[in-house]
Amino acid sequence: MGNLTLGVKEQTIFPEVSDEDVKDLFGLAVTIVTTAKNKKEATSFFDIIGVPFKK
């Protein structure tokens, strides 16, 4: 109930990655797992830490 997964298609969106140094493109997924008991608790937590949700 309190999980959020964010995906990135390729690593070139990060300014630290130089286009000239990229040999292969790869994606990235980050999953945040909470101990929230319901959707309202989880949403409140993500709002507090600044996760932008489309309203």
Q: Tens digits of per-residue pLDDT, 8-52? A: 988 888 888 888 888 888 888 999 999 999 989 999 999 999 988
Note the pLDDT of residue 48: 94
CA angle 22/16/13 to nearest 5° reads 70
Q: Where are the domains of the chain?
A: 3-48
Note the pLDDT of residue 12: 82
Note the pLDDT of residue 22: 85
**Which strand (E) or helix (H) includes residue 8?**
strand 3-8
**Is-above-0.85 flag for pTM?**
no
Note the pLDDT of residue 17: 82
